[in-house]
Structure 1
Amino acid sequence: MATPSAQQSNALLAALQEQLLRLRVLIVDRQPNARNTLRTMLSTLGVTQVHGASSAWEALRQVAKHEFGVIFSDYVLEDGRDGQQLLEELRHRHLIPLSTVFMIVTAERGYQHVASVAELTPDDYLIKPFTAEQLQGRLARALFKKKIFASANAALEKGDWAAAVAACEAITATQPAHATEALRLQGETLNAVGRYGDAEAVFRRVLTDRPIPWARMGLAVALHARGASEEAETLLTELLRDCPEYLAAYDFLARLQEQRGDPITAQETLLEAGRIAPHNTQRQRLVGDVATRNGDLSQAEKAYQNALNRARGSSLASADDYANLSKVLIEKGNVSGAKQVIQDLKRERRGDKQAELASLVLESEVCRQEGDESGAQKRLDQALSLHDTLVAEGGPEATSRRLQVELAQVCLAQGRDETGSELMKRVAAVHHDDPATLSHIRLAFEKAGKEEAGQELLAQVSREIVDLNNRGVTAAQGGDLQASVELLIQAAERMPNLQFLVNASNAIFTLLDQKGWQEELALRGRRYLKLARERDPRSPKLFAAWEFYQRVGKKYGILVPPITAPDPDDV
C-alpha cells in the first residue's frame, strides 16, 4: 500500500485546506488515550471539529445527529464488534453519504487479514502505530479521491445512473491515476442498472491489463445476467482458486450452484466463506437457510445462532433471527431450547410488534409439540389477529415474508388449511421471482404433509400472474394506454410484486408522457417504485423504471427527487 510522499501530501492538503477547516471528524475507539492522540494529530492539520465515540452504539448515535466528513474507527470495538461491522451497519442503513471517508485503524500484524476479508471496503486503512505525517498522507489521499469522484457519487446519491456512468468515463479520461477505480464504479453501476453488455465490456477492458479480482467478479455477474451461467460459475471457481479470501464471490457462486440444482455444494461454498470470515450476519443467515432446505438441522442451528449473536444489539438484528433458531430447535426436538430463545426474543425486543407476532407463532408450535392443543389454538388466534392488525396499519409488508410463511405453516399444521393457504398465496404472489422464498413455501407445505397442495398453489399463482401481466401488456400494445394503466394498477394492488409494481409505474409514466402530467397519478407511480425498491433495491428493472420517471418528469419541468428521498403522501 503506497503512501504519498510528504511533498505530495503537503500539496494535496494545501489544496484541501479550506475543506479541512470545515471538516467534521468522528473517532471511534474504546481507548480514550487513543482518541485523544488522534485528535491532537488532527488539530495540527487544522481539523478542529472532532467528536469521539467509545463504542459502535455511540458512533451510531453521533452519526444520527451530525454529518461527518471523515470517520476513523479502530478495528476492535466493544463486545466483540469491529470497525468492519460498524461500516456494514452505516452503509446498510444509509446513515453516511458516499462523500464520507471511512478509515479503519488496525495493527500491522492484523492488517492483511482485516483487508483481505473486508466485506465492505473502507476508503483506507491506518496501520498502528502511525505518525502525524502518515496520518496526513492517508487523509490527504482519501479526501482528494473523494473530490475526484464527487460528481459520480453525487449522481449515484440522486439515482441518476446515466450521469454516474458519464462521470466515471470523464474520470477515466482525465485522471489516469484514478482510472482503474473509475472503471470499477462504472462497471458496477452498469451491472446494477441492467446494462450487462456494457458492463462486460468495461470489466474485460480492465482484465486485459491484469486479473483484478473485482473485475473478474463483475464480469461473472454480467455473464450470468446474459444467460451464460456456466461460464460465470467457471470464472468464479477460478477466481476463488486464485484469491480464496475474495468473499463476495462465494455468495454469488453458491447462488449459481443452488440455481442449477446442487444445494449441497452451495452449502459447502457458503461454509467455506464462513470459515474465512465468520462475522458476516447475512451470510450466516444464508448458510442457515440452505442447510434447512438440505435437512442439515445441526448446521442450520449453528448458523442461525451465529447470525443471532452477531446481529444482537445492532440495527441488523431481526425477530426473524430468533424465529429461525427457535424453529430449527423445535424440529430437532429441543423444545426447551426453543422456549429459551422465545423468552430471549420477548425480553430483548420488548415493544416490537414483529417480535410479539414471532413469539405467538413460535409459542403456538411449542404448545402443539407439548400436546397442549388448546394453548396452541389460543396463541394462533392471537397471532392471526395481530398479523391482521399489522397489515391494516402498514400494508402487506408490515410483517416479514419469512414470518408470514411460518404463520401459514402453523395454520396448516393445526388444520386451518384455508387460512394458511391464503397467507402462502399472498407471499408467493408478492415474491414469485425469489427462488429462496418459493423454496421456503414448498418446504412448509411438505412439512405439513401437503406437498401436492403447495405445488398446485404455486402453479395457480404463476398462472394468475402471467394472465394479469399479459392483459395489461396486450392493452398497451393495442394503443389503449388508459386500459393498460387500469389493468396494471389492479395487478399491482392485488399482487404487489416487483414485476407488477414496475410494469404499473412504467404504464403510468408512459401515459403521462403522451397525455400530460397528472400529479395524483404520478404520485401513485412513484409509490409503486418505492414499494418495488423495498422488494429488491438492486433490481435493474427498478433502476430503468426510475430513469424513465426522471425523464418524463424533466419533460414537464418536474423535479424528481432521489429514490432514497422520503415519500410524498400516498395516493
Structure 2
Amino acid sequence: MMRAETTAEMLHKMSKELAHKRALLIDRYPNARNSLRIMLSALGVTSVHNAGTTAEVLRQVRSHHFDIILSDYQLEDGRDGQQLLEELRQQRLVALATVFMLITSERAYHNVVSIAELAPDDYLIKPFTADDLHGRLVRALYRKQFFAALYEPLENGAFSDALDACERLLAQDSGFLFDLLRFKGEILNVLGRPAEAQAVYQEVLQQRMVPWARMGLAIALRSQQHLREAETVAQALIEDFPEFMAAYDFVAEVREEMGKLREAQEALQSATMISPNNTARQRMVGDVAARNHDFQAAERAYGKVLERRRGSSLNNIDDYSNLARAMIDLGHVEGAKRIADELRRDWRGSKQGELAALVMDGLCANKEGDPTKAQMAIEKALVLHDGLKADGKDTLVSSKLALDLAHACLATGKEAIAQEMVRKVAAENHQDRAMIAQIESIYAKAGKEEAGKALLAQVGREIVELNNRGVLAARGGDLDGSVKLLMEAAERVPNLQFLINASKAIFTLLEIKGWNPALAKRGLGYLRTAQEKDLRNPKVISAREMYERVSRKYGIAVVPLTATRKQAEQPRT
C-alpha cells in the first residue's frame, strides 16, 4: 500500500512547483512591482506579468490563466484592491483555483474588515520578507490543490457532482475536515436540501462554535420557512461576532421576507458602518431605504455606489438612475440634473445611457412643473427606445430603466405606453418583491395606485394561466404539446419560472423520445438564460442536472457553465 503524503511533504512539493506557476503583480508603482518580481524570482517563480492599472488587469486576466495574483490594496485613481476583487469575482474572471492575495499597509479598522469580508486567500501587511511570502503562497497553493476536485464542478454549476467530490475528500484523512463540512453544508443548501444541511451544521456546532456553521444553520432554517428561528440564530451571531458581515445581509433579507422593511434597513446600515466599501450592500441599503421612503438614506447609499463603481467595468447605468431618482424624490432637482450630465459624459456614445439621461430630464422637468419640457424629453426617449427595440436591442434596457421610462410616461399622460412597459417588466419579474414594489411606487406617485394594483393582479393571473396550459398538457401525457406551449411561454415572458419549465420539458421529451440536436439547443439556451438570472437557484440547478443526465445518456458532451458568463458591463451601442 502506498503511503499517503504528509502535510510537510505536500508543502515541500508545492514549493518546488512554484517554478511552474504564472503570477500577476498589481501595483501602480513600477518599483514596487519590480521588488515583488525579484522576491518571486528568488522563490522560483519566473512567469510573472505586471499591471499598473485595473484596465490592464482586466486585459491580462481575459488573456491568461493565473495561478497567483498579488495585488496592492491602493490602486490608481483612488480605487483599491477590494473593488478590483469584487469586479473580478462578479465577472467570474478569477478561477477558484487561483490564489488571490492583497498586500496592504492599511491598518485602519474599516479597511481591514472590508478586505477580510471579500475573503481573499490571504493578505500581507507591509513590510514583509521573501520568507513570509513563500510560507503564505505555499500553504495557499497546497489548499487550492487539495480542493481542486471541488472547484471544477462548483464553477460549472454542477453542485451534485461537487457534493460527490466533497464526500470523496471527506473520506480522506486530511487537515481540512471542517473546511469540507463547510463546503458540504453550503452545497446542500444550494441544492435545496436544507434539512440535510442543518444536520451537517449541527454536527459542526457540537464540536466548534464557529460563525460560518451558525450562518449555514440560519440559511437552512430559512429554507424550511422557520423565519423567526432563522432571524434569531443570525442576530445572535451578529451579537457574538459583529464583524461577520454576511449575517447582517441575511438578517435584512429575512426581515424583508417577514414584512419588516424598516428593521431590514437598520440591519444593512449597521453593516455599512463596519464595512462601508461593499457596493452590493450599499445598493441594497438604497433599494430598501427607497421602499421605506427614507430618501436621504437612499441618496447616501446610491451615491456611495456610484462613487466606487465609476470608472470600473462594473459601472452601471442603473447606478446613476437610482441616485437621480432618490434626489428627485427629495426635491434635489439640480443634483439630479448633474447626475444626468455625468451619465451623458461617462456613457458617451451609449444609446442606453442617453435614454436614461432623457428619462431623468423628463422626471426633473415634471418635478419642476414644466410639462412642455417634460413632454419633449420623453418624446425623444421614446424614439430612442423604439429604435433600440427595432434593432433587437431593447433587452439591453434594464428593468429599472424601463420602469423609470414608464414612470415618466405616466407623469406626462402617456398611460397606455406606460402600461405596456410595466406589464412586460412585471411579467418577467413577477417573483421579485423589490421590482413589484417599484411598480406600485410609480403608480402611487402618479396618483393611480388602484390602477397599478389592478394591472399587477391581471399580469399575475395571466402568468398562472400561461404556465398551467403547458403543465396540464404534460400531466395529460401530451409531451410534444407541453413543450410547444412552455417554449411559447418562455419566448413571450422569459422569466425564471418559464425558462426552467421550458428547459425541463424539452429534456424530459428528449429523454423519452431520443436526442434532437435542434431541440436540445433550444433547451440549453433557456437553461443558460435562467443560469444568468440566478445561478444558485435550486430549480435552476435541478434543470441543469436534468440536461447533464440526458446528455450523458446519449453520449453527448456536456457544455460547461463557464461558457455562460454574465457580463456586468452593458454593451455600448
Q: Same fold (TM over 0.5)?
A: yes
Provide Cα deviations, 1:142-181, integer angstroms capped at 9, x if missing partner: 1111110111101222332222111112222214311211
Give, in angstroms, the shift of residue 255 of structure 1.
1.3
Does residue 470 of the first structure (1) align with residue 475 of the second (2)?
no
* Matched residues, number: 560
Contact 2:113–2:243 (CA under 8 A) maintained in structure 1: no
Contact 1:117–1:246 (CA under 8 A) maintained in structure 2: no
Provide Cα deviations, 1:251-301, integer angstroms capped at 9, x if missing partner: 121111122121111111111111111111111111111111111111111
Q: Aligned partners of 1:488, 1:539: CA distance in 2, in Å?
A: 20
Residues 1:118 and 1:385: Cα distance change in structure 2 (over 3 Å)? farther
Q: Aligned partners of 2:469, 2:431: CA distance in 1, in Å?
A: 19
The partner residue of 1:425 within 413, 423, 426 is: 423
Does residue 557 of the first structure (1) align with residue 555 of the second (2)?
yes
Provide Cα deviations, 1:107-129, integer angstroms capped at 9, x if missing partner: 48458962576332111222322
> What's the Cα RMSD here?
2.0
Q: Aligned partners of 2:489, 2:85: CA distance in 1, in Å?
A: 39
Structure 1 window deviating more from structure 2 (500-509 vs 375-384): it is: 375-384
Amino acid paired to 1:456? A
In the alignment, which residue of structure 1 is the partner of 2:441?
A: 443
Give, in angstroms, the shift of residue 13 of structure 1.
5.1
Provide Cα deviations, 1:460-518, integer angstroms capped at 9, x if missing partner: 11111111222221111111111111111121112111001101111111001001111
Provide Cα deviations, 1:56-79, integer angstroms capped at 9, x if missing partner: 333223222222110011222233
Amino acid paired to 2:313? S
Contact 2:328–2:336 (CA under 8 A) maintained in structure 1: yes
Q: Which structure 2 residues correspond to residues 450-461 of structure 1 after superposition, within 5 A?
A: 450-461=448-459
> 2:311 aligns to what SS in structure 1?
coil
Contact 1:188–1:199 (CA under 8 A) maintained in structure 2: yes
In the alignment, which residue of structure 2 is the partner of 1:250?
A: 248
The partner residue of 2:539 within 526, 541, 561 is: 541
Amino acid paired to 2:345? R
Structure 1 window deviating more from structure 2 (172-181 vs 279-288): it is: 172-181
Q: Aligned partners of 2:98, 2:76: CA distance in 1, in Å?
A: 23
In the alignment, which residue of structure 2 is the partner of 1:3?
A: none
Q: Which runs of 5+ in 2 are unaligned?
A: 1-5, 566-573
The partner residue of 2:353 within 340, 352, 355 is: 355
Amino acid paired to 2:423? K
Residues 1:134 and 1:461: Cα distance change in structure 2 (over 3 Å)? same
In the alignment, which residue of structure 2 is the partner of 1:278?
A: 276
Q: Which structure 2 residues correspond to residues 393-432 of structure 1 after superposition, within 5 A?
A: 393-394=391-392, 397-432=395-430
> 1:433 aligns to what SS in structure 2?
coil
Q: Which structure 2 residues correspond to residues 468-547 of structure 1 after superposition, within 5 A?
A: 468-547=466-545
Residues 1:40 and 1:527: Cα distance change in structure 2 (over 3 Å)? same
Does residue 138 of the first structure (1) align with residue 140 of the second (2)?
no
Give, in angstroms, the shift of residue 394 of structure 1.
4.6
Residues 1:79 and 1:526: Cα distance change in structure 2 (over 3 Å)? same
Structure 1 window deviating more from structure 2 (86-95 vs 130-139): it is: 130-139
Amino acid paired to 1:72? L
Q: Which structure 2 residues correspond to residues 72-471 of structure 1 after superposition, within 5 A?
A: 72-107=70-105, 109-110=107-108, 114-115=112-113, 118-394=116-392, 397-471=395-469
Amino acid paired to 2:426? A
> 1:51 aligns to what SS in structure 2?
strand
Contact 2:18–2:43 (CA under 8 A) maintained in structure 1: yes
> 1:275 aligns to what SS in structure 2?
helix
Q: Aligned partners of 2:351, 2:249: CA distance in 1, in Å?
A: 31
> 2:103 aligns to what SS in structure 1?
strand
Q: Aligned partners of 2:173, 2:308: CA distance in 1, in Å?
A: 41
Structure 1 window deviating more from structure 2 (105-114 vs 428-437): it is: 105-114
Structure 1 window deviating more from structure 2 (316-325 vs 388-397): it is: 388-397
Contact 1:69–1:100 (CA under 8 A) maintained in structure 2: yes
Q: Aligned partners of 2:532, 2:380: CA distance in 1, in Å?
A: 28
In the alignment, which residue of structure 2 is the partner of 1:37?
A: 35
Identical columns (%): 53
Q: Aligned partners of 1:95, 1:128: CA distance in 2, in Å?
A: 27
Contact 2:114–2:275 (CA under 8 A) maintained in structure 1: no
Q: Aligned partners of 1:108, 1:114: CA distance in 2, in Å?
A: 7
Amino acid paired to 1:42? L
Amino acid paired to 2:140? A
In the alignment, which residue of structure 1 is the partner of 2:18?
A: 20
Contact 1:117–1:276 (CA under 8 A) maintained in structure 2: no
Give, in angstroms, the shift of residue 208 of structure 1.
1.6
Q: Aligned partners of 1:531, 1:10: CA distance in 2, in Å?
A: 46
> 1:73 aligns to what SS in structure 2?
strand
Give, in angstroms, the shift of residue 414 of structure 1.
1.1
Q: Aligned partners of 1:108, 1:98: CA distance in 2, in Å?
A: 26
Residues 1:555 and 1:350: Cα distance change in structure 2 (over 3 Å)? same
Contact 1:428–1:461 (CA under 8 A) maintained in structure 2: yes
Structure 1 window deviating more from structure 2 (158-167 vs 314-323): it is: 158-167
Contact 1:325–1:338 (CA under 8 A) maintained in structure 2: yes
Q: Aligned partners of 2:454, 2:224: CA distance in 1, in Å?
A: 31
Structure 1 window deviating more from structure 2 (269-278 vs 45-54): it is: 45-54
Residues 1:337 and 1:111: Cα distance change in structure 2 (over 3 Å)? closer
Contact 1:117–1:245 (CA under 8 A) maintained in structure 2: no
Contact 1:70–1:102 (CA under 8 A) maintained in structure 2: yes
Give, in angstroms, the shift of residue 19 of structure 1.
3.4
Residues 1:42 and 1:11: Cα distance change in structure 2 (over 3 Å)? farther
Contact 2:113–2:275 (CA under 8 A) maintained in structure 1: no
Does residue 63 of the first structure (1) align with residue 56 of the second (2)?
no
Provide Cα deviations, 1:514-548, integer angstroms capped at 9, x if missing partner: 01111111111111111212322221111110110
TM-score by length of 2: 0.93
Amino acid paired to 2:49? H
Give, in angstroms, the shift of residue 53 of structure 1.
2.1
Provide Cα deviations, 1:32-56, integer angstroms capped at 9, x if missing partner: 3332222112111210011222233
Q: Aligned partners of 2:114, 2:360: CA distance in 1, in Å?
A: 40
Contact 1:509–1:552 (CA under 8 A) maintained in structure 2: yes
Residues 1:395 and 1:186: Cα distance change in structure 2 (over 3 Å)? farther
Q: Aligned partners of 2:60, 2:136: CA distance in 1, in Å?
A: 24
> 2:104 aligns to what SS in structure 1?
strand
Contact 2:82–2:114 (CA under 8 A) maintained in structure 1: no
Residues 1:113 and 1:299: Cα distance change in structure 2 (over 3 Å)? closer
Contact 2:82–2:115 (CA under 8 A) maintained in structure 1: no
TM-score by length of 1: 0.94
Structure 1 window deviating more from structure 2 (257-266 vs 55-64): it is: 55-64
Structure 1 window deviating more from structure 2 (363-372 vs 40-49): it is: 363-372
Contact 2:352–2:397 (CA under 8 A) maintained in structure 1: yes
Give, in angstroms, the shift of residue 419 of structure 1.
1.0
Residues 1:33 and 1:153: Cα distance change in structure 2 (over 3 Å)? same
